[in-house]
Structure 1
Amino acid sequence: MEHTEFNNDLLQFLNASPTPWHAVNTMKERLEASGFERLDERDEWALEQGKSYYAIRNGSSIIAFRTGKKGAENSGIRMVGAHTDSPCLKVKPNPEVRRKGYFQLGVEVYGGVLLNPWFDRDLSLAGRVTVLDEHGKVQDVLIDFKKPVAIIPSLAIHLDREANSNRSVNAQTDLPPLLMQASETETFSDLLKEQIANESGLKARKVLGYELSFYDAQDAALVGLREDFLASARLDNLLSCYIGLQSLLDTSGDEAALLVCNDHEEVGSVSAEGAQGPFLGEVLERWCGAGKGRAIARSMMISADNAHGVHPNFIDKHDENHGPILNQGPVIKVNHNQRYATNSRSAALYRHISDELGLPHQTFVVRSDMGCGSTIGPLTAANLGVTTLDIGVPQFAMHSIRELIGVQDGFTLYQVLKEFMQREEML
């Protein structure tokens, strides 16, 4: 895969994945097209060496792996981890808000959302809906309106003279998106049943529940005078999901390799399908059996999650020796208080592979007077006892509705992770 092909395919992946459920479904389709076999957690597994498999939990987390030709307990597993969720606005269970003939939906803030950029954007709506179909069967269906169906209008500056100097956002009162002007008889459930019928032909008798998110209807795009950058929603962290997926798909399959993409990282990872849950450990147990401990002792995890590039307008927000620049390589993330799981040995292996390939890399350490975010890296390292590296592509506007990366860095990380996943010797 070449640089231009990589980014063009990345754009398609991002546009097809407005929610964790859609992202997992997109990955599932690509895995199956490459010969990966689906495993059902409810069934017995009979795994074979040299084969490729995947498992899905809750529709929003996925683990895909190649068993390799030598046995994981003998060669270790080359693991890459990412997360499928992104900060967003999720629709409340009883969402209808009717004022002055306008139809709005109440929303709950999911994760650490940068709220101001959500105003005056064309918004669409997507997610999972659980329905009772016409035959009395409970079904989950994915929906995606794929067009602008809502907007959160700003208050005019004439009515808020301090908007440019002292603007705050009340998540309860300021954020309900405006969908339409509607009569009192139109309901949100009716709109969902109509959309389900339009998308899948399924006639839903009743909407039993949903997990729906608003998202930016503007497609991902290359931007900049020379197209140095790629702008999109959900780069944190669908970019890493895509890189990990492509790395796994393009490996030789000789060595045992695994990709895990967990949901709920943005809210702490405490769920059945989150990184603090048992999903990865249970898959490894069923794969390796009594050899699980030996396999983990020979394994390494690379937790891929985007890093903060040094913003040219806010240079003082970075340590002066650790300000990653876009398009100058992926960023090894270090925090000695274990907000990142990187240690000198795991960082050394990445640097060694990167140097062998002639590819750039950078290092990030947060300013000593600022707090540090975290990733699935420390959680996975603690749960499994596996040597772990935290790394990511540098970006601007993290947790905004539209984020920005350099066009070189994702492809660089892909090349290193591909080599890592098929490397015979790791540590």
Structure 2
Amino acid sequence: MDGAVPAPADHIADLADFITASPSSYHAAAEVARRLDLAGFTRLDEAAGWESTGRCYVVRDGAVVAWVRPATAGPITPFRIIGAHTDSPGFKLKPRPTLTAHGWLQAGVEVYGGPLLNSWLDRELELAGRLVDRDGREHLVRTGPFLRIPQLAIHLDRSVNDKGVTLDQQRHTAPVFGVGDHGDILERLAAGAGLVAEDVAGYDVLTADTQEPRRFGLDDSLFAAGRMDNLVSVHAGVVALVDAPDDAAHVSVLAAFDHEELGSESRSGASGPLLDGVLTRVSGGTAEEVRRAYAGSWCVSADTGHGIHPNYPERHDPANHPVLGAGPLLKINAKQRYATDAHGAALWARACERAGVPWQEFVSNNAVPCGSTIGPLTATRLGIRTVDVGVPLLSMHSARELAHVNDPAALTAAVRAFLAGA
């Protein structure tokens, strides 16, 4: 086998640490950078000249692109890319974020991505992200448990269990963080960076659930955590890239983008220029040579997918029932919401076989359209052949998602085999 399957217990514990360290995309990028530094990678400045042979990476906002370029690589050496994203659905702090209403202190927030809104009710939330001071310096901050979106008591809505919870995104999602009229969110965030509120010139701050990742169930085989979509794939990519060979016939790459949950249209998203710009500089070739390198390249777009839900089987394809614990998914869609084609399916089968892990196919019920990933965007922008894969989940886009402990380790083993040349 090209790379042994990580021990699931050890791997899931490390994944839990990674998720805990990554309450925002900016923290996730910093945690990726920290791990790469420990593994001997060199951080490069996009504004400087590069000597890009070896193990290097760049950080742009909440995104990271890292690579292992063999000394023998030339301008037409192809790339093998693991693509993922660092952001997750939730709520983003608005300008003038401190609100008062009926004796309560509340936070002004805006919905970020497509969260399952009701799953965020009655949870202790934190604020996490970055502050930029008046001198342009960036500071990562997180508050720990600070906010809660309280649900209306059943006594005040007797029919809630019959009609379900319906939340107005403006009126019903403002979290509380205190009572009275003395308290300021920016003061709390600034204090965490050693600043005062007047020093803060800008911020990108989001909510995150503070409950720790946890194993449970029969034989502790189930794993619950926030932000597994898509930190589970970022984590797999980091582990695999650190183990990538230095003498491969390709350049191994991890591209962890931001803003996928919003459509990826940003300077650090998959629809932006980040990956193309980095790969062009790593290649060092002419425009024609870079295109030749792309023609021989592959991207594995790793994002989470849907395992069959036992209470809603009718929402799934009748013939394809991916099960948690039965291996990572090969994601297929006729409308190219996933970029997998026949060659991609064959590549993924080889990678899983060489890693010694099972895999399963996912396709949507025709009446239940699927989401999309960075895969089709990468294939469209760069012309690089792409295959979409991922760990099966239940409760995707919930504040707390559900996986099987074996699947993240299996995904990591498969992408490690992919980077080894499977």
Equivalent in 380, 383, 389 of residue 381 of structure 2: 383
CA–CA distance in 1 between the matches of 2:184 and 2:123? Answer: 24
**Corresponding residue to 1:35 among 28, 36, 40:** 40
1:269 aligns with 2:272: no
Tell me which amino acid in the other structure corresponds to 1:153. P
CA distance in 2 between partners of 1:153 and 1:338 (Å)? 40
Conserved 8 A contact 1:237-1:306: yes
Moved more, 347-356 or 325-334: 347-356
- In structure 2, the residue corresponding to 1:226 is in which secondary structure? helix
Q: Are residue 6 (structure 1) and residue 11 (structure 2) matched?
A: yes
Post-superposition shift, 1:73? 4.4
Aligned length: 411
Q: How does 1:332-351 map to 2 (within 5 A)?
A: 332-351=330-349
Where structure 1 has 5 or more consecutive residues not aligned to the other structure, the ranges are none
Could you tell me which of 128, 139, 147 is aligned with 1:150? 147
The one-letter code sitting in structure 1 at the alignment partner of 2:56 is Y
What is aligned with 1:83? 85
**1:72 positional shift:** 5.3
Residue number in structure 2 paired with 1:247 = 240
Tell me if structure 2 keeps the 8 A contact 1:15–1:220.
yes
Distance 1:191 1:358, change over 3 A: closer
Query: Is residue 196–residue 204 contact of structure 1 (8 Å, CA) maintained in 2?
Result: no
Partner of 2:25: 20
* Distance in 2 separating the partners of 1:383 and 1:229: 37
Query: Contact between 2:186 and 2:197, CA under 8 Å: does it hold in 1?
Result: no
Q: Is the 8 A contact 1:20 1:61 kept in 2?
A: yes
* Distance across 2 between alignment mates of 1:234 and 1:404: 10
Q: Note if 1:213 corresponds to 2:216.
A: no
Q: Distance in 1 between matches of 2:390 and 2:355?
A: 18
The answer to whether structure 1 residue 53 and structure 2 residue 56 are counterparts is yes
The separation in 2 between residues aligned to 1:385 and 1:31, in whole angstroms, is 28
Q: How far 1:144 sits from its partner (Å)?
A: 1.1
Report the AA paired with residue 116 of structure 1. N
The residue type paired with residue 381 of structure 1 is: A
Alignment deviations for residues 116-157 of structure 1 (CA, whole Å, 9 cap, x no partner): 01111111111111123xxxx3321011112x2111111111
CA distance in 2, matches of 1:207, 1:182: 24
* 1:336-392: CA deviation from partner (whole Å, max 9, x where unpaired): 111000000011011022123332000011011221210000000011100100001
Residues 50-79 of structure 1, C-alpha deviations (whole Å, 9 max, x = no match): x11101112x01100001243154542111
- Equivalent residue number for residue 299 of structure 1: 297
Q: What is the 5 A alignment of 1:338-417?
A: 338-417=336-415
Of residues 83, 100, 103, the one that matches 1:101 is 103
Query: What is the identity, as a one-letter code, of the residue corresponding to 2:162?
Result: S
The alpha-carbon distance between structure 1 residues 180 and 204, as it changes in their structure 2 partners (threshold 3 A), is closer
Distance of 2:256 and 2:136 partners within structure 1 = 27
Output the CA distance in 1 between the equivalents of 2:59 and 2:338. 26
* Unaligned residue ranges in structure 2 (runs of 5+): 1-5
Contact 2:68/2:253 (8 A) holds in 1? yes
Amino acid at match of 2:208: Y
Question: The residue matched to 1:183 in structure 2 has which SS?
Answer: coil
Of the candidates 110, 113, 116, which is equivalent to residue 111 of structure 1? Answer: 113
Partner Cα distance (2:354, 2:190) in 1? 55
Letter in 2 for 1:339: R
Shift of 1:214: 1.4
The answer to whether the 8 Å contact 1:131/1:204 transfers is no
Compute the TM-score of the two structures, normalised by the length of structure 1. Answer: 0.93
> CA offset at residue 204 of structure 1?
6.5
Q: Is the 8 A contact 1:73 1:298 kept in 2?
A: no
Once superposed, what is the RMSD of the aligned Cα atoms?
A: 1.4
Equivalent in the alignment of 1:233: 226
Change (3 A) 1:122 1:187: closer
Please state how far the C-alpha of 1:39 moved relative to its aligned partner. Answer: 1.1
Task: For 1:274 and 1:74, locate their aligned partners in 2 and report how far apart those are by CA, in whole Å.
Answer: 25
TM-score, normalised on structure 2? 0.94
The one-character-per-residue Cα deviations of 1:174-201 (angstroms, maximum 9, x if unpaired) are 11101011335x333222222222xxxx
Q: Judge conservation of contact 1:253–1:422 (CA < 8 Å) in 2.
A: no
CA deviation map 1:21-74 (0-9, x unaligned) = 0000000000011111111111111223xx11101112x011000012431545
What is the percentage of aligned positions where both structures have the same residue? Answer: 40
Distance 1:182 1:190, change over 3 A: farther
